[in-house]
Chain A
Amino acid sequence: MLRRLLSYSFAVVALGTLCGLPMTPLHAQRAKLPRTVAGKPDLNGIWQAMTTANYDIEPHDAKPAMALRPGPVVPIPAKEVLALGAVGAVPAGMGIVVGGEIPYLPAALAKRNENRENWLTRDPEVKCYLPGIPRATYMPFPFQILQSEKAVFISYEYASAVREVYLTNPGPPETDSWMGQSDGKWEGDTFVVTVTGFNDGTWFDRAGNHHSEALKVVERFTMIGPDHIKYQATMTDPQTFTRPWSIELMLYRHVEENARLGQFKCVPFVEELLYGRLRKTPIKP
């Protein structure tokens, strides 16, 4: 199959050359990257992943709902999400985990499966909690990279999450946090960010994939064209995984005129869920 694809692309290249169409090989695209005054790739912009990874970073088939219960014939949507119909269904996805599977330790795998069974009550996204890294990158919301000669700052639409990527390492994190402490440096044209100091509260997706507070994430932002960033992240967490593992996905620039980051401050949206039972007159279900 791969050979057939390769020969097909050779044929396209040959055809393009024959017809005199301009071809844009990767190195030529890289040469045209937007660059800062200091000559680094200019990552400024509004970016978004186009993937179903936030449902499940592993390869997954479509299913009727995030939360299921046994039906007489096949599983059916749990009653909490039934009314959403097709809107609440899960689209299939190839996943973003390199190699397809997260190398869990046995106990951590059991916890993942338990998380999955209890998705509605356990997923931090359901409660509008800060998303952590790398999940913030591929949630179904854009984010904005603000890059100057002195600073790199990422502002996320979801939950108004933020992180400053320190260009001068301030030393080990003084406290744990949801978004971690990000230390960035350039390796050639790749911006490499090491994130440590996490708590164990964030997940990787809506499928219960989790980590401990020992997690270290090394992210690599590589611009492969003016409007595309290849994003790779390697997770190391010996309390949860048998070995380091990686994800890989593409980030797309919002190129539309007047593109801007919206605001999704979801805290007020989950107050009924979190506190509704404590109202003076609780709303009847």
Chain B
Amino acid sequence: MNRTKTMMTRMAFVVAGITMMSATASAQGAKATAPKPRKAAWVVPRTPDGHPDFQGNWSNGTMTPLERPAGMGRALTPEQVVAMEKIRADTVEQLAKQSDPNRPAPPKGGDGSTGAAGNVGGYNYFWIDAGDHMATVNGERRSSIIVDPVNGRVPALTAAGRERAAERLRAYRKFGEYDNPENRPLAERCIMSFGSNAGPPMLPNYFYNNNYTFVQTKDHVMIMTEMVHDARTIHMRPVARLPKPIRPWMGDSHGRWEGDTLVVETTNFHPEQLFRGASDNLKVIERFHMVDANTILYRFTIDDLTTFTQKWSGELPFIKMNQLIYEYACHEGNYALSNILSGERAREREAAAKPPKP
């Protein structure tokens, strides 16, 4: 229990290391609605051409992490779920309190807490919507999104994968993390969402705005990710795949129906959007299946044997939300990137002005 609590506290602060950025008019009010009890009479809604109709807004916000914490099984016990969700609820309640307008300035260098809500004072919890439930799949409450391998962990890297990771680290270390805008994370630069929200694979960011709009036409399925208003258009009719040099940020997605399951294969990922250090050969296979009026079961497989010692797969629910998604205009109000870089330049000037130590 104690161990669980520690882990959950850590998960509650998984936003640590995500630097704050400016975002106007994001869907802070748009929390996922809780799934309603399944009705026996539910029939799959269908488009005019007879396929399941996924259209509308969905959220994949959840507390369930990608990888399974050590010492846990795939399915959580009801007691574990209650305990974890209570810790999250208590944390939310604590952090959602009104800020004290008379509080003093935070101590120089921050108060030691981590995350966007802590340190020198950032978001309070009003702004954060990190998911407050453990994911449910087939009635099972899940400890991790990854289900294959069975330990719920990203499989080991191949030798080539390790070499590439080392090379990336060497390239990263050539610069200080605040030297150039290009050294900052994609989300902070308003290029892509935190984590792998837009994907594919489309994963929760454990922070906010885990929201999507689906539109289906006879030739396309379009999935718009709220962060950073990225529309991925999946081709449902045979269209030539992109030539090798064209590598869009979310890759090149082609779909087909296998019965009532939408299957999407994506290749040609942008070099800076290769999931978990994958290679140019990365192929992501996604499967969308509606299991009730409020739930799409989303499964994905990462296929890149030049990087991972085996294919690996995960699953999580997308929950229907009956609310609007607002514009996520990030770059237009991105004062933070200027401030982060100029803050570092100021620190360098201060350091240079100090007399050398005797």
A interface residues, Cβ below 8 angstroms from B: 36-37, 44, 124, 128-130, 144, 146-151, 153, 155, 160-162, 164, 170, 174-179, 201, 258, 260-263, 265, 267-268, 271, 274-275, 278-281
Given A261-B233, A268-B189, A153 and B224 contact (CB-CB distance below 8 Å): yes
| B68 adjacent to chain A (CB < 8 Å) | no
Instruction: List chain A residues, Cβ under 8 A from B179.
Output: 279-281
- A177–B190 CB distance below 8 A: no
Instruction: Indicate which residue in A129, A155, A175, A262 contacts B231 across the interface (CB closer than 8 Å).
Output: A155
Q: Chain B nearest CB: distance from A135 CB in Å?
A: 14
**Bound-complex Cα distance A37 to B49 (A):** 9
- A179–B327 CB distance below 8 A: yes
Instruction: List chain B residues, Cβ under 8 A from A162.
Output: 224, 229, 231
9 contacts between A and B (CB under 8 A): A44-B219, A124-B332, A144-B233, A148-B216, A153-B213, A160-B228, A162-B224, A265-B191, A279-B341
- A178–B181 CB distance below 8 A: no
**Bound-complex Cα distance A280 to B178 (A):** 8
Instruction: List chain B residues, Cβ under 8 A from A146.
Output: 215, 217, 220, 222, 233
Instruction: List chain B residues, Cβ under 8 A from A265.
Output: 191, 249
- A267–B190 CB distance below 8 A: yes
User: Nearest CB to that of B49 among chain A residues?
Assistant: A37
Q: Chain A nearest CB: distance from B278 CB in Å?
A: 19
- A153–B331 CB distance below 8 A: no
Instruction: List chain A residues, Cβ under 8 A from B217.
Output: 44, 146-148
Q: Chain B nearest CB: distance from A171 CB in Å?
A: 10
- B332–A130 CB distance below 8 A: yes
Chain B positions 22 through 52: 1 when the CB is less than 8 Å from some CB of chain A, otherwise 0: 0011000000000000000000000110000
Instruction: List chain A residues, Cβ under 8 A from B249.
Output: 263, 265
Closest 5 A/B residue pairs (Cβ): A278-B341, A177-B327, A280-B179, A155-B231, A37-B48
**Bound-complex Cα distance A125 to B94 (A):** 43
- A280–B327 CB distance below 8 A: no
Give the number of A-B contacts (CB < 8 Å): 113
- B332–A129 CB distance below 8 A: yes
- A260–B229 CB distance below 8 A: no
Instruction: List chain A residues, Cβ under 8 A from B189.
Output: 267-268, 271
- B191–A155 CB distance below 8 A: no
Q: Chain B nearest CB: distance from A118 CB in Å?
A: 18
Instruction: List chain B residues, Cβ under 8 A from A260.
Output: 233, 235, 239
Instruction: List chain B residues, Cβ under 8 A from A130.
Output: 327, 329, 332
B 187-230 contacts with A by CB, 8 A: 189-191, 213, 215-220, 222, 224, 228-230
- B332–A160 CB distance below 8 A: no
* Contacts A151-B55, A280-B179 known; 6 new A-B pairs at CB < 8 A: A146-B217, A149-B47, A150-B53, A155-B224, A160-B229, A162-B229
| B180 adjacent to chain A (CB < 8 Å) | yes
- B229–A174 CB distance below 8 A: no
Q: Chain B nearest CB: distance from A154 CB in Å?
A: 9
| B337 adjacent to chain A (CB < 8 Å) | yes
Q: Chain A nearest CB: distance from B132 CB in Å?
A: 23
Q: Chain A nearest CB: distance from B10 CB in Å?
A: 32
Q: Chain A nearest CB: distance from B258 CB in Å?
A: 21
Instruction: List chain B residues, Cβ under 8 A from A275.
Output: 181, 337-338, 341
**Bound-complex Cα distance A147 to B47 (A):** 12
**Bound-complex Cα distance A241 to B332 (A):** 26
Q: Which of A144, A262, A278, A281 has the most CB of B within 10 A?
A: A278
**Bound-complex Cα distance A245 to B320 (A):** 41
Chain B positions 223 through 261: 1 when the CB is less than 8 Å from some CB of chain A, otherwise 0: 010001111010100011000001011000000000000
Q: Chain B nearest CB: distance from A126 CB in Å?
A: 13
- A279–B215 CB distance below 8 A: no
- B55–A150 CB distance below 8 A: yes
Given A178-B327, A267-B331, A153 and B215 contact (CB-CB distance below 8 Å): yes
Given A265-B249, A267-B190, A148 and B47 contact (CB-CB distance below 8 Å): yes
Given A148-B217, A268-B189, A177 and B329 contact (CB-CB distance below 8 Å): yes
**Bound-complex Cα distance A164 to B240 (A):** 27
**Bound-complex Cα distance A189 to B24 (A):** 36
Instruction: List chain B residues, Cβ under 8 A from A124.
Output: 332
Q: Chain A nearest CB: distance from B264 CB in Å?
A: 16
Q: Chain B nearest CB: distance from A176 CB in Å?
A: 7
Q: Chain A nearest CB: distance from B34 CB in Å?
A: 22
Q: Chain A nearest CB: distance from B243 CB in Å?
A: 11
- B326–A174 CB distance below 8 A: yes
- A178–B337 CB distance below 8 A: no
Given A271-B189, A275-B338, A155 and B326 contact (CB-CB distance below 8 Å): no
Instruction: Indicate which residue in A128, A149, A263, A267 contacts B48 across the interface (CB closer than 8 Å).
Output: A149
| B176 adjacent to chain A (CB < 8 Å) | yes
Instruction: List chain B residues, Cβ under 8 A from A160.
Output: 228-231
- A258–B345 CB distance below 8 A: no
User: Nearest CB to that of A280 among chain B residues?
Assistant: B179
Instruction: List chain B residues, Cβ under 8 A from A178.
Output: 327, 329, 332
**Bound-complex Cα distance A178 to B181 (A):** 24
